[in-house]
Structure 1
Amino acid sequence: MPNKRRALGFWLVLLVACAGIIARTQFRTDMGAFLPQSAPMAQQVLTEQATSGAASHLIVLALTGAPAPILAAMSETLAGQLRQRAEFIDVINGDDQSFAGVQGFVWANRYLLSADITADRFTATGLHAALLNDLGLLGSDLGGMIQQTLPGDPTGEALTLLRQLGQAQGPASIGNVWFSSDGARALLLVHTSAPGFDIDSQQQALTLINGDFGKARRAVPGAAGVRLIESGPGVFAIHIRDTTKRDVTRLSLLAMAGAVSLLSFAYRSPRVLLLGILPIASGVLAAIATVSLTFGFVHGVTLGFGVTLIGESIDYAIYLFTQTARGETASDTIARIWPTLRLGMLTSTVGFSAMLFSSFTGFAQLGLFSIAGLIVAAGVTRFVLPHLVPQGFCAAGADSISRPLRAAIRQRRRLRWLVAAGVLASIFALTMHRGALWDNNLENLSPIPARDQAQDQMLRRDLGVPDVRYFAVFKAADKEGALEKSEDLTASLNSLVARGKLGGFDVPSMILPSLRTQRARQAALPGAALLRERFTQAQAGLPFRADAFEPFFRDVAATKTGPLLSAGSLPPPLALQLGSMLVRRDNGWVVMAPLHDVADPAGVARAIALAGLPGVRFVDLNHESDQLLQTFQREAVLLAVTGSLAVVLLLLAGLRSVARVITVVAPLAAAVIMTAALLTLGGGKVSIFMVVGFLLIVAVGSNYCLFFERSAPDAETWHRSIASIVLANLCTVSAYGLMALSSIPVLHDIGMTVAMGTFLSLVCAALLKAPGLEA
């Protein structure tokens, strides 16, 4: 009785402590946490930008299903409603308000922002040339715009700047708002305050958008048939979360229903059925708390997959309940099977321990989560469950479940050749596999459906948003150093544009010049009296009124003595754009300058390398993505191999016999080989998720093989042992098999791999078992 109280007391204290830790745990979803700690700078920053950069704030909206005038009215109404909400930084649909904030900022600060501001530009000769150019433009299609800006900006700085910042052009317009080229869709760009990884905030933003869309549709006559299309990183994140939640919930309920039905038939005791949940629940709580204490946060992927990885802990309760014979207490049973169960638990934890040394924080979290969960689940099974099992309990229905496998075991001498033939055929199939064995297509690993990806590409084409693949990347010790180096890089990039190797580029200094440059531009502006004197000379003989340029004189004087620009003075759209190019990291600042319409990638890379700017490198996003995937692949294989070797070494230490180790390992090897062959039949390829599945096969299947390897004192005990293995296997196969039905690639791949592999490991272990008691 004292032992029972101590065990239950310690267990309850552990659960309360874990619950307290979990209540203060930070859960994260940004995929930057799954990058290797030694990932190249470009890979780290690119991943951060995908989750928290400017692009992640973007939602693309399209209105369709009605004539263009109705869609234009809907666009204006919806944009007006969204602009009233603090959840949106900016709403752009091409109307006059779309760029008002940016245009006002550029106009007010044009003499600090323009790269053309030099002392020569404000000489009498320079001003005269500018006025002559204005005369020519007044007679062109831009005459109306020039007539408005000429009094305050005769040198044309504002129009040049707006053109550089992409504000002077956009998609086709109908009724003063953006449309696709075929006029079928009215287009809007919405910048949310929250980044794409903040899924709850993105969900709130979409709820507001849909609510305002409904109001706009009711307010605009004839708009009842208008449909709203939404796309963007935040939209995808919500769809992925909802799809994952739906799949996991639906498939988990089905798996639970299957397991409950199976275990109810075997146990025929509701109380014991509920007791079987305790090891899993305890393991999950302990695992979350352990990861939180070690890493300071728990990643959402770790939580989702970690629960799956320790799902084998249900097997421990099955072994205890099913192998308890009539007249035998649960305490006697656990004492008898504990050496085997303990070795099985240790093989799993040792296998997962390889993940602790991964350079990927995510992999390390998964390994620690699994190890902590399995140890606690095994401990609860060993020290807590035996005290809670009803006296005299016996799994009365388990015997009939194992009869088909027992019949196969009796014929094992004649059926072993099937295993040998399957392994040889699998090796041949893998050797003769057509093409590459690895799946290197990132789109196949993406949880975003192909239809949604195609729709997003269509809307981006409508908007004229370029797919940026190439960047110039460098680091700097501080922000000012980064801006200054950005300005130095501009000269080299302008040269590439002039030579036709580059269509254009963006650098952070276009939005926020360095303080060094701003001071130089202030110094280049003449004083008020000198400017008036030179301007009088410049307009001599030209048809301009002498008093028409008072706004110009006033603005130049204000800029020369006014404050300099800082990041805090930027309007939200420009601040967001600056943040996508200028990123602060722990050891400094990183600049990622997008390069557009790169005609000669190799030539641009060489030119940047020879530009004499230390540390600046040319980055191909596709190449970096491929490299990141290959890093994942190499490390996944290394972890699987290392984990498997660790299992073999542990088995050698525990079984102390090479022959006995071969008896355990041979079925596992056969199962992994045959699973790999089946997954790649017909030209299929192996994903990194499947490699994780191979490690799971070894971790879970080793338990089956250990129980088959163990000798039994009598036939009844042997039959119950087989029944427990079959019952555990059926629960595992059904759970992972249902997971294979998921539309999420990672769930599908792991589910299919583990379901197939664990079933094959059971069959191979049964047919390759050494002669002993007949089943």
Structure 2
Amino acid sequence: MQQPLHHYLNPSTAKIRAVIWLVLLATAALSGWLAWQSGARVQSDILAMLPKVSESPLTQRAMAQVEQQLANRIYLGFISDDEQAAIDAAQLAMSALRQDDNTSDSNSSAFSNISSADLAQADALNHYYFQHRFQLLTEEQRQLLQQGDWQQLSQAALEKLYNAFSYASSDLISRDPLLLYPEVLLSLVPAQQLTVKQGLLIATIQPTADNQAQRYAAIVMAKGRDSAFNPNAQQQQLTALEKAFNAVHSQNQHIEIIKAGALFHAAAATENAKQEVSSIGLLSLIGVIGLVWLAFRSVMPLTIALITVSSSMLFAVVATSVIFGELHLLTLVFGTSLIGISIDYCFHYYCERLNEPQASSDSVIRQIFTAVSLALLSSIIAYGALGLAPFPGMQQVAVFCAAGLIGAYLTLLLAYPVIAASPLQDASLALELAQRYQTFILARFTPTHLLSKLLLTTAAIVFIVSGLFRLSSDDDIRQLQHTPTAIQAEEDQLRQLLSGGTDNQFLLVSGTTEEQVKQQLEQLEPVLQQAEQNKLIGNHLSLSRFLPSHASQAQNYQLQSEIYIKHLDEILTQLGLEHELKAALVNDYLAAKNQFINADSFLNHQAGAGFKPLWLMPEHTSGSSEYGAIVLLGGITNLDKFAALFEDNDHVQLVDKVADISEVMGHYRQLTLAFLVIALVAAGLIFSVRFGKKLAAVVIAVPALAALLTLACLGLLAAPLTLFHALALILVFGIGVDYSLFFAESKQQTRGVMLAVSMSAISTLLAFGLLAFSQTPAINAFGLTLLLGISFTFLLAPFIQNFTRKSVNVD
């Protein structure tokens, strides 16, 4: 290896290599510019990081339709002690949002479907169902007719005729003498606490200990034109809302506004991620700059360090943008750790130069080439394992960091002989401190007697076993996002006003025919009503109310023969109606035979347009040949107990994407830990070629033991193990192997290595230690694991010298 290295890494080729490096930088910059011009963007959608759940085609379509229905919707509540003031505020806000919607370019408006109570749909429902009144009955009406007790229905109709507040009219009586239809229409509307006034949904807020007066909330709903997780759309929607809120408060500053919807969670997450990217990245960079200055007391190493980090970040951003077409904000948060890793090459280079002041740049690079190359290889193995995670965001982190390290590696080989050739000032104090530390730790903590070795080994085993025994796991996907308490409190309050709102979980009813699905929905309805009474759920929305089965409609039609065929004369006489109505009523009844409500006619009518996302037709192109219906759920209090109600029904499935993804996360957590073991074995085999089996095992033992100690600490700290802890352990391995390699390669000349590893560990701890303070639990877990893992690796790596003293020298 020495001849090729001597040929390529010599002063005569230094300028050529520097030109090649500049060309690579220019090419990377141009590629990045073209990628961003072609549509590459920063992605803040947390959903883009989620793993893909393997589901049936029908279930996948159901999840897509529910997401499309619920996604990007916002709910606003305008609260006041005066009901009219709340109504005025809501109307003013709707007007302001609609003005934005009515701009010349409708595609640039922030919201669409700005509404509250949909009176037009109520009229459409009335018009549609009146045509099918002979196929519809309430449960009470059905039971009375089954018992032949039409007289009770006639008596109830008589009472309504003489009620001053009755909805009866001459036209309605002439077509529905027993006034059955109005009761049917009312039964279609699910019971709720909301009322409708001036076209707005109004919720009444009862007095509380904090507020003695009764208050009113006017509810407004809107749908964002673009994803709430798209940064541009997000800012546009927030701006439109701010204008509307300012208009409201300028009219009445006492109006309280509460909000709910993914937009507000996404905005908080975006703001939090931006703050963490800027603060963590900036503090990490400042810490590294201070570290380099303290160690070398020179501007040049500081400049070279900045060039190395900048080149590394350029390669990282460009590679990620070109490969994925986007750059996730969480990739940038995790990627700030690259600052603490890529600069390691600079540290090792300068520390080796300090150790051998007379050596040239090329000579220094040749001396550290093997260790740096093996370190790069091991890091790529580690990041490759990280990239096998099911999260596109984690795959981005793998590409981001691997490309960044390759950029730093190329900068070392190609640019350092020219840009870092200047002689260094005397920094023997830093080298002396590093040597004193290593001498102290090896002398004080290396066991020399058999008893002390046994005690140390026993203590380590007890610590690890006790920690691992207490270690638990938690794969809840909600770790991905941190929601501020204020935003969650507003959403909970608004959901309560909306009778529980709609949860992410829903029921999927399937069948081979439309009729089978309808019958399953009817059989499901009493179960859901009982679940509401038992407080397992707060509410539900099912098509069973709007799409009765053909069998049920046929039964209702047959039962109404008691009215229109057998007893119509008696009914007309009892109600005091003219018998001339009989012929028309009988003709209408006979003409309605077999005129069933079906999914196609209902959902394509204005009355059913809003319910269309709840129905699934067969779609052979996607491999789905079944019919399906979605039942939306709200206010779920006990998901496990509720799910148990449908365990024996093959036609009803509780779809819980959160639980499904969490299960996948648990699977990949276990798989990632298995990858860690495989990476350790693979690295051990590679290193055995260079160092021999014994020393290679020692090199691998350092990160392996650091990982076990980290897991034990997590157990003792009662921190549940997640996929993000497991992913961080992969990096503990990659970084830990680097430290081990440099000590193994250095033989007995470890003074410069100890200084480089110390600086590397401190800079890495600066980066990852700051990640441990992130408000997002996933990032916090990632940072805490690396904080512990790198600390243990740094403490253990110097002890490799105890083995290199006894090993055979390697070339």
Task: Give the shorter-chain TM-score range.
Answer: 0.7 to 0.9
Counterpart Cα distance in 1 of 2:502 and 2:466: 38
Mapped pair 1:681 → 2:681? no
Distance of aligned partners of 1:643 and 1:759 in 2 relative to their CA distance in 1, 3 Å threshold:
same
Instruction: Judge conservation of contact 1:581–1:593 (CA < 8 Å) in 2.
Output: no
Match for residue 405 of structure 2 among 351, 374, 382: 374
Instruction: Judge conservation of contact 2:466–2:712 (CA < 8 Å) in 1.
Output: no
Shift of 1:769: 2.8
Counterpart residue number, 1:579: 613
Deviations 1:408-451 (A, max 9, x none): 31121322359997875565345445866223566666411355
Counterpart residue number, 1:414: 444
Counterpart Cα distance in 2 of 1:271 and 1:152: 98
How many matched pairs? 737
Counterpart Cα distance in 2 of 1:152 and 1:192: 42
Counterpart Cα distance in 1 of 2:180 and 2:302: 80
Shift of 1:539: 4.6
Mapped pair 1:206 → 2:238? yes
Shift of 1:299: 4.6
Shift of 1:341: 0.4
Instruction: Judge conservation of contact 2:308–2:411 (CA < 8 Å) in 1.
Output: yes
Match for residue 674 of structure 2 among 620, 632, 638: 638
Instruction: Judge conservation of contact 2:77–2:218 (CA < 8 Å) in 1.
Output: yes
Counterpart residue number, 1:346: 377
Instruction: Judge conservation of contact 1:56–1:233 (CA < 8 Å) in 2.
Output: yes
| Secondary structure, counterpart of 2:746 in structure 1 | coil
Letter matched to residue 212 of structure 1: A
Instruction: Judge conservation of contact 1:690–1:753 (CA < 8 Å) in 2.
Output: yes
Distance of aligned partners of 1:313 and 1:226 in 2 relative to their CA distance in 1, 3 Å threshold:
same
Which segment drifts farther, 408-417 or 464-473?
A: 464-473
Shift of 1:766: 1.8
Distance of aligned partners of 1:327 and 1:642 in 2 relative to their CA distance in 1, 3 Å threshold:
same
Q: How does 1:20-39 map to 2 (within 5 A)?
A: 20-24=34-38, 25=40, 28-37=43-52, 39=54
Counterpart residue number, 2:365: 334
Instruction: Judge conservation of contact 2:51–2:661 (CA < 8 Å) in 1.
Output: no
Mapped pair 1:53 → 2:68? yes
Match for residue 102 of structure 1 among 94, 99, 121: 121
Deviations 1:361-411 (A, max 9, x none): 44444434433333333223222343332x3242655x5445544323112
Deviations 1:210-229 (A, max 9, x none): 32122122223xxx243433
Distance of aligned partners of 1:468 and 1:270 in 2 relative to their CA distance in 1, 3 Å threshold:
same
Shift of 1:726: 1.6
Distance of aligned partners of 1:209 and 1:657 in 2 relative to their CA distance in 1, 3 Å threshold:
same
Distance of aligned partners of 1:387 and 1:498 in 2 relative to their CA distance in 1, 3 Å threshold:
closer
Q: How does 1:1-16 map to 2 (within 5 A)?
A: 1-16=15-30
Instruction: Judge conservation of contact 2:276–2:333 (CA < 8 Å) in 1.
Output: no
Match for residue 693 of structure 1 among 728, 737, 741: 728
Distance of aligned partners of 1:138 and 1:473 in 2 relative to their CA distance in 1, 3 Å threshold:
same
Instruction: Judge conservation of contact 1:181–1:462 (CA < 8 Å) in 2.
Output: no
Counterpart Cα distance in 2 of 1:364 and 1:113: 56
Deviations 1:516-561 (A, max 9, x none): 979x99xx99xxxxx99x999975553568999999999x99x989
| Secondary structure, counterpart of 1:349 in structure 2 | helix
Counterpart Cα distance in 2 of 1:692 and 1:115: 63
Counterpart Cα distance in 1 of 2:772 and 2:761: 16
Match for residue 686 of structure 2 among 650, 673, 681: 650
Letter matched to residue 60 of structure 1: Y
Deviations 1:663-717 (A, max 9, x none): 3222222322232233333433323222222111111122112112222585xxx
Counterpart Cα distance in 1 of 2:90 and 2:24: 63
Distance of aligned partners of 1:535 and 1:755 in 2 relative to their CA distance in 1, 3 Å threshold:
same
- The TM-score, its normalising length taken from structure 2, stands at 0.75
Instruction: Judge conservation of contact 2:65–2:613 (CA < 8 Å) in 1.
Output: no
Mapped pair 1:262 → 2:291? yes
| Secondary structure, counterpart of 1:743 in structure 2 | coil
Shift of 1:239: 0.5
Shift of 1:327: 3.9
Match for residue 74 of structure 1 among 89, 98, 102: 89
Distance of aligned partners of 1:341 and 1:303 in 2 relative to their CA distance in 1, 3 Å threshold:
same
Match for residue 594 of structure 1 among 627, 632, 643: 632
Instruction: Judge conservation of contact 2:273–2:330 (CA < 8 Å) in 1.
Output: no
Shift of 1:340: 0.4
Distance of aligned partners of 1:736 and 1:230 in 2 relative to their CA distance in 1, 3 Å threshold:
same
Deviations 1:263-295 (A, max 9, x none): 233445545534434444444444455455655
Counterpart Cα distance in 2 of 1:631 and 1:300: 25
Counterpart residue number, 1:732: 764
Counterpart Cα distance in 1 of 2:682 and 2:118: 61
Counterpart residue number, 2:424: 394
Shift of 1:732: 1.0
| Secondary structure, counterpart of 1:109 in structure 2 | helix
| Secondary structure, counterpart of 2:474 in structure 1 | coil
Instruction: Judge conservation of contact 2:126–2:185 (CA < 8 Å) in 1.
Output: no
Which segment drifts farther, 337-346 or 692-701?
A: 692-701
Shift of 1:49: 7.0
| Secondary structure, counterpart of 2:248 in structure 1 | helix
Counterpart Cα distance in 2 of 1:440 and 1:561: 48
Q: How does 1:89-168 map to 2 (within 5 A)?
A: 89-91=112-114, 98-111=117-130, 116-117=135-136, 134-137=157-160, 143-145=165-167, 150=172, 154=176, 160=184, 163-166=187-190
Shift of 1:749: 1.8
Match for residue 169 of structure 1 among 192, 205, 213: 192
Letter matched to residue 579 of structure 1: P
Mapped pair 1:179 → 2:204? yes
Instruction: Judge conservation of contact 2:292–2:301 (CA < 8 Å) in 1.
Output: no
Distance of aligned partners of 1:334 and 1:72 in 2 relative to their CA distance in 1, 3 Å threshold:
same
Distance of aligned partners of 1:217 and 1:324 in 2 relative to their CA distance in 1, 3 Å threshold:
same
Counterpart residue number, 1:528: none
Distance of aligned partners of 1:494 and 1:385 in 2 relative to their CA distance in 1, 3 Å threshold:
same
Instruction: Judge conservation of contact 2:93–2:245 (CA < 8 Å) in 1.
Output: yes
Counterpart residue number, 1:766: 798
Which segment drifts farther, 259-268 or 739-748?
A: 259-268
| Secondary structure, counterpart of 1:170 in structure 2 | coil
Deviations 1:120-156 (A, max 9, x none): 99x9x99999876555556779x45566994798466
Mapped pair 1:704 → 2:739? yes
Shift of 1:733: 0.7
Counterpart Cα distance in 2 of 1:745 and 1:88: 32
Instruction: Judge conservation of contact 2:75–2:261 (CA < 8 Å) in 1.
Output: yes
Distance of aligned partners of 1:696 and 1:601 in 2 relative to their CA distance in 1, 3 Å threshold:
closer
Instruction: Judge conservation of contact 2:273–2:329 (CA < 8 Å) in 1.
Output: no
Counterpart Cα distance in 1 of 2:353 and 2:161: 97
Q: How does 1:223-242 map to 2 (within 5 A)?
A: 224-242=253-271
Counterpart Cα distance in 1 of 2:298 and 2:609: 64
Distance of aligned partners of 1:561 and 1:768 in 2 relative to their CA distance in 1, 3 Å threshold:
closer
Letter matched to residue 686 of structure 2: L
Shift of 1:2: 3.6
Letter matched to residue 424 of structure 2: C
Which segment drifts farther, 496-505 or 411-420?
A: 496-505
Q: How does 1:405-444 map to 2 (within 5 A)?
A: 405-411=434-440, 412-416=442-446, 425=459, 427-429=461-463, 431-432=465-466, 437-439=472-474
Counterpart Cα distance in 1 of 2:587 and 2:46: 52
Match for residue 276 of structure 2 among 247, 250, 253: 247
Counterpart Cα distance in 2 of 1:400 and 1:127: 105
- The TM-score, its normalising length taken from structure 1, stands at 0.78
Instruction: Judge conservation of contact 1:54–1:580 (CA < 8 Å) in 2.
Output: no
Of the two, which has the highest radius of gyration?
2
Q: How does 1:515-664 map to 2 (within 5 A)?
A: 539=572, 541-543=574-576, 565=601, 570=606, 578-579=612-613, 582=616, 586-588=622-624, 591-594=629-632, 613=651, 616-619=652-655, 624=660, 627-653=663-689, 655-664=690-699
Shift of 1:337: 0.8
